[in-house]
């Protein structure tokens, strides 16, 4: 099943083949800032070796028997100037990596959000909102940490591994043995560390997503939980998820506690000092060089001690990047058809031998064929599960048919430019979604530049103006998330007002008046009839008042068209319709 959605391109191309290449493609966009951090890291490490060299010279001067004050002053000045300069370079290092991290987090968040909005309804219907929220917030933040403190610490400290090499060469080449062996075993142990850490960090991120997913479900469905007295059961489930997250973190901590480079550092310091002392006893190097060499070896402590957390942070960040990519890389066949047809819709709709399945196999609609002329009102009736909603979702390309074609004005929907098509079709579903914004902003959601007069006019057409003016702040009243602070009937009238404001060429009402009370039913029916004039209208309904004045009635049964015609025709020819009509009367 091909599924198409509006896919807004991200502002630059990223490589999504792997987590590393994807993160790197974002980093390359900010190479100049990243370069500042690299230069700061190299310069900071290079100047860190200055004190070690000067300590040796000072010790040599002290033990010479004729110490020179000028040597002390010169050494102090060199150390002071070098370390002040090092402070500036360290600022550049931190600044470069932190700015890069923040910019990458911003860009990744934008790219991920754009990707989510471009996904099909099939994708969103199968996804946990809580897990998506965990990816959109916490996982993206973990990608930030790859650079700061992750790479900031790694690249800032890794240079310290090579300082002892330069010091060793300047004293005696044979002293290279200790730092060279340490570097070799250090990188081998880091590779092993990352290998065993990678599945654990994946588990950490996965269990966090599961934990967040269940939490979001419980909060969203708290009314159901309380109504069924299932608070303790949900608490127990949450404890299980929380324990799984805790166990994954303990596994990570256990691996970090067995970090081999810490042992290597102790061995290197001991063996290096012993080696230098042996050379001293043999008269090959002076005692001051022993101090200089040992001071140089001590610099291995920074990369070793900082590696534990920084490499773990990088591994967690890459695990999070993989989770983000798994979401973004799904359904890459989404097509907005930028070069497609973008004319004004007249309203002629044709279904030609259309079959459809949500999962691509089990048919929800089968062999649907009918034609609707511009300006006609079509009532779609049938029992629950007969395929009514599935049928209308094909009209605005929420889904594409498995076979056959849906055409508007004789043009296959797949040949239309998608945003042009949807901009002229308005659909109001039974489950109305309103945002936690003002009433005016909710009505104007599809037309953000609408004036207040236009908003009020649309509200009047939808019979919503009366209750809006009774709200504490009228059109400026902020309603709760999903419209929780207003009634079902009021939510549906706001949705109708939203549709009237956009003035669509095709209007689809999916049982959208089910929550309208009997007092306002006649008024709302007149409003719908007025709104349907001049545009093609599809109404999924069980209300007699809407069925009877429809120009065409489609009777659905088990995913097929059971009967089609006017009210009078179907009353004579269709037993199914007569049964539905009789039930509606009751």
The DSSP bridge pattern shows strands 403-408 and 411-412 to be antiparallel
pTM (2 decimals)? 0.67
Collapse the DSSP code of 283 into the 3-class scheme (helix H, G, I; strand E, B; otherwise coil) and give the result: coil
Question: Is the peptide bond preceding residue 149 cis, with omega within 30 degrees of 0?
Answer: yes
Domain membership of residue 6 (yes or no) is no
- What is the structure's pLDDT at 2? 35
Strand runs (DSSP E) across 70-229, as ranges? Answer: none
Q: Are residues 303 and 403 in the same domain?
A: no
Give me the CATH number covering residue 145.
1.20.1560.10
Domain membership of residue 472 (yes or no) is yes
Please report which helix (H) or strand (E) contains residue 435, including its range. none
Q: Are residues 36 and 65 in the same domain?
A: yes
- What is the structure's pLDDT at 354? 92
Domain membership of residue 88 (yes or no) is yes
Residue 197's CB is within 10 A of a number of other CB atoms, namely 21
- What is the structure's pLDDT at 513? 56
Q: Are residues 531 and 580 in the same domain?
A: yes
Residues of the chain where predicted confidence (pLDDT) is lower than 50: 1-7, 332-334
Residues 391, 378: contact at Cβ < 8 Å? no
Domain membership of residue 111 (yes or no) is yes
Q: Are residues 157 and 257 in the same domain?
A: yes
Domain membership of residue 152 (yes or no) is yes
Q: Are residues 374 and 288 in the same domain?
A: no
Both tokens of 167, joined, read 């010091």
Round to whole Å and give the CA distance between 75 and 79.
Answer: 6
Strand runs (DSSP E) across 245-364, as ranges? Answer: 349-356
For 465-524, write each residue's pLDDT tens digit: 888 888 888 888 888 666 667 777 778 788 888 888 888 888 888 775 555 555 556 666
Round to whole Å and give the CA distance between 586 and 576.
Answer: 16
In terms of residue numbers, what domain contains 234? Answer: 19-328
Edge-to-edge strand list for the sheet holding 411-412: 365-372, 349-356, 403-408, 411-412
Q: Are residues 392 and 288 in the same domain?
A: no
Give whole-number Cα distances, 193 to 169, 188, 252, 254, 487, in Å: 30, 9, 11, 12, 57
Residue 476's CB is within 10 A of a number of other CB atoms, namely 12
Give me the CATH number covering residue 394.
3.40.50.300
Q: Are residues 169 and 295 in the same domain?
A: yes
For 89-141, write each residue's pLDDT tens digit: 889 988 999 999 999 999 999 988 888 877 766 676 667 777 888 888 888 99
Both tokens of 535, joined, read 């545009």
Round to whole Å and give the CA distance between 132 and 294.
Answer: 52
- From 282, 298, 328, the end of a domain falls on 328
Domain membership of residue 283 (yes or no) is yes
Q: Are residues 324 and 424 in the same domain?
A: no
Number of structural domains (the chain) is 2
Domain membership of residue 459 (yes or no) is yes
Torsion of CA 189, 194, 200, 202, to 10 degrees: 180
- What is the structure's pLDDT at 177? 92
- What is the structure's pLDDT at 174? 92
Strand runs (DSSP E) across 436-535, as ranges? Answer: 506-510
Q: Are residues 361 and 308 in the same domain?
A: no
Q: Are residues 162 and 44 in the same domain?
A: yes
Q: Are residues 234 and 129 in the same domain?
A: yes
- From 328, 358, 380, the end of a domain falls on 328
- What is the structure's pLDDT at 103? 93
- From 299, 328, 357, the end of a domain falls on 328
Domain membership of residue 2 (yes or no) is no
The DSSP bridge pattern shows strands 425-428 and 506-510 to be parallel
Residue 242's CB is within 10 A of a number of other CB atoms, namely 15
Query: Long-range contacts of range 523-532, CB-CB < 8 Å, 24 or more positions apart?
Result: 523/463, 524/462, 524/463, 524/493, 524/496, 527/461, 527/462, 527/463, 527/496, 528/496, 530/461, 531/461, 531/496, 531/499, 531/500, 531/507, 532/377, 532/507
Q: Which residues are CB-neighbours of 529 under 8 A, at least 6 positions away?
A: 549
Q: Are residues 295 and 355 in the same domain?
A: no
């Amino acid at each position: 099943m091909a599924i198409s959605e509006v896919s807004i391109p991200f502002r630059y191309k990223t490589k999504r083949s792997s987590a590393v290449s994807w993160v790197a493609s974002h980093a390359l966009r900010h190479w100049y800032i990243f370069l500042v951090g690299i230069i700061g890291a190299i310069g900071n490490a290079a100047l860190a070796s200055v004190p070690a060299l000067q300590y040796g010279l000072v010790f040599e001067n002290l033990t010479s028997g004729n110490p020179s004050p000028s040597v002390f002053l010169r050494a102090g000045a060199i150390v002071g100037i070098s370390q002040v300069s090092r402070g500036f370079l360290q600022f550049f290092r931190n600044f470069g990596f932190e700015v890069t991290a923040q910019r990458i987090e911003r860009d990744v968040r934008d790219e991920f959000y754009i990707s989510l909005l471009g996904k099909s309804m099939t994708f969103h219907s199968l996804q946990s909102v809580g897990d998506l929220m965990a990816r959109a917030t916490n996982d993206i933040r973990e990608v930030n940490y790859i650079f700061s403190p992750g790479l900031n610490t790694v690249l800032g400290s890794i240079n310290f591994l090579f300082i002892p090499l330069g010091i060793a060469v300047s004293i005696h080449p044979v002293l290279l043995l200790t730092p060279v062996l340490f570097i070799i075993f250090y990188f081998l142990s880091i590779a092993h560390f990352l290998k065993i850490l990678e599945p654990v960090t994946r588990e950490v991120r996965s269990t966090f997503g599961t934990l967040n997913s269940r939490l979001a479900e419980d909060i969203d469905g708290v009314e159901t939980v309380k109504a069924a007295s299932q608070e303790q059961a949900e608490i127990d489930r949450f404890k299980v998820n929380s324990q799984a997250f805790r166990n994954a973190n303990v596994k990570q901590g256990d691996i970090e506690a067995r970090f081999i480079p810490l042992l290597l550092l102790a061995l290197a310091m001991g063996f290096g000092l012993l080696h230098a002392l042996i050379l001293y006893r043999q008269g090959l190097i002076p005692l001051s060089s022993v101090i200089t060499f040992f001071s140089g070896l001590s610099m291995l402590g920074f990369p070793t001690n900082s590696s534990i957390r920084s490499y773990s942070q990088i591994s967690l960040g890459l695990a999070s990047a993989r989770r983000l990519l798994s979401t973004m890389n799904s359904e890459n066949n989404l097509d907005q058809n930028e070069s497609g047809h973008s004319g004004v819709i007249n309203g002629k709709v044709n279904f030609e031998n259309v079959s459809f399945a949500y999962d691509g196999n089990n048919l929800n609609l089968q062999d649907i064929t009918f034609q609707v002329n511009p300006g006609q009102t079509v009532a779609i009736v049938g029992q629950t599960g007969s395929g009514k909603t599935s049928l209308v979702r094909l009209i605005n390309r929420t889904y594409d048919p498995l076979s056959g074609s849906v055409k508007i004005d004789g043009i296959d929907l797949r040949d239309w430019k998608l945003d042009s098509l949807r901009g002229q079709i308005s659909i109001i579903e039974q489950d109305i979604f309103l945002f936690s914004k003002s009433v005016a902003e909710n009505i104007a959601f599809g037309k953000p530049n609408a004036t207040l007069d236009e908003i009020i006019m649309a509200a009047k057409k939808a019979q919503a103006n009366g209750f809006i003016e009774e709200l504490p702040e009228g059109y400026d009243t902020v309603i709760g998330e999903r419209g929780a602070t207003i009634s079902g009937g009021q939510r549906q009238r706001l949705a109708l007002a939203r549709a009237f404001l956009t003035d669509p060429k095709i209007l689809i009402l999916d049982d959208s008046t089910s929550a309208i009370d009997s007092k306002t039913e006649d008024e709302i029916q007149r409003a719908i009839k007025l709104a349907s004039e001049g545009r093609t209208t599809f109404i999924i309904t069980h209300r007699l008042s809407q069925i009877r004045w429809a120009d065409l009635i489609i009777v659905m049964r088990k995913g097929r068209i059971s009967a089609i015609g006017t009210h009078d025709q179907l009353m004579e020819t269709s037993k199914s319709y007569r049964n539905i009509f009789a039930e509606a009367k009751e």
